[in-house]
Amino acid sequence: MGLTIRGKHLPLPILQGGMGVGVSLDRLAGAVAACGGMGTISTAVCGFDEPDFATDPKGANLRALAAQVRRAKELSHGSGLVAINAMVATTQYAESVRTALCAGVDVVVCGAGLPRDLPAIAAEVPESDAALAPVVSGGRAAGLICRLWDKHHHRIPDFMVLEGPLAGGHLGFSKEEAREAQAGNPKSLSDLLREVLEAIAPYRDKYGRDIPVFVAGGISDGAEMARYMKEGAAGAQFATRFIATEECDASPAYKQRLLDARDEDIAIVQSPVGLPGRALRSPLIQRVEAGTQPAVERCIKCLSACDYKTAPYCISRALIAAVRGDWENGLFFCGAGAGKVNRLSTVRAQMEQIMSEWRAAQ
């Protein structure tokens, strides 16, 4: 059942997706790892709660990240793996990766951009042997990353996360594709998986080892995970369902908003990152849609491509507001199946339920 990733044992084929700002930090990641899965800390503005964040946001983020990685590792008791999710689109992308590697993180996962230089960044911390993995949306991206890493760094990804159009947060698909998926006509994750497996096959052969692919985005239970594993996936990544746990780092008010959500409350939004995203239709989103959201007045330069003068809203402030439970001003990212999450649970109960469903589907 378990698998080995760059010499590290992952007892269960379950990844917890990275959720920022502040939704998946050390408590959630450590709890998932303690149950034998891969728990993930989101590096996005993770120092928002530090006392000096207002005056030194970059320093606060890196200091907090190092502490969170160490705490999650302690909470894991060496059972599963602790990862970070670092968005390529952030200005602190490389610094965050280096900081997490120095703190002893097991895995680095990168999305929201093409992590073409990730192996070079990791090489700057030679004492680390962390696994490196990109988030991809299909075979084209998977093949491109393998080709670039092979040519320039003489290595291939240790695994990949294939994120379909039903995922929460930032999406590697157009708004139209995301809307079609929300309406019940998603691009088949099975087709995407087949594309990715075909694209990476030459590199698996060249290096003589597997590149496990974990499917993500709209995976509702262990039975679906089992089906995709029969199609060649190594396991699945879950995110939204882990928000509704006692260990999740988000505020109780955030969790309650998720528990109260219905299918019709989920919207496809345009993010200042430059990608569409899936979130609850909070008053902030309604103001953006109506063109009444006030202009951004202050910028901490968290995103490489964001121009605060034209951005529809400040994503850092919106995500910080959300994690603190501010419904009026928050951006509440969620997956397409958020309407089915209606009960607060624990990480252990969620992990046991997923594996029970997986066994029943064998």
Same domain, 126 and 266: no
Say if 286 falls within a structural domain: yes
Whole-number pLDDT of residue 353: 96
Same domain, 239 and 260: no
Same domain, 168 and 293: no
Same domain, 278 and 295: yes
CATH code for position 245:
3.20.20.70
Same domain, 13 and 132: yes
Beta strand pairing status for 276-280 and 266-270?
Answer: antiparallel
Residue-range definition of the domain harbouring residue 281 = 253-323
Same domain, 242 and 128: yes
Say if 164 falls within a structural domain: yes
Say if 335 falls within a structural domain: no
Say if 63 falls within a structural domain: yes
Q: Are 243 and 346 in contact (CB under 8 A)?
A: no
Same domain, 164 and 303: no
Same domain, 303 and 212: no
Same domain, 144 and 173: yes
Same domain, 16 and 83: yes
Same domain, 276 and 138: no
Tens of pLDDT along the chain (362 residues) come to 689 999 999 999 999 999 988 999 999 999 999 999 999 999 999 999 999 998 999 999 999 999 999 999 999 998 999 999 998 988 889 999 999 999 999 999 998 888 999 999 999 999 999 999 999 999 999 999 999 999 999 999 999 999 988 777 766 666 666 666 666 665 588 999 999 999 999 999 999 999 999 999 988 899 999 999 999 999 999 999 999 999 999 999 999 999 999 988 988 887 776 777 888 999 988 988 887 876 666 655 655 565 555 667 778 788 889 999 999 999 998 888 888 888 999 999 999 999 999 999 98
Q: CA-CA distance, 346 to 248, in Å (whole number)?
A: 9
Say if 223 falls within a structural domain: yes
Say if 49 falls within a structural domain: yes
Whole-number pLDDT of residue 186: 56
Count: domains in the chain: 2
Say if 336 falls within a structural domain: no
Convert 168-203 to b/e letters by CB count within 10 Å (16 or more is b): bbbbbbeeebbbbbbeeebbebeebbebbbebbeeb
Give the predicted TM-score (pTM) of the model: 0.93
Same domain, 121 and 219: yes
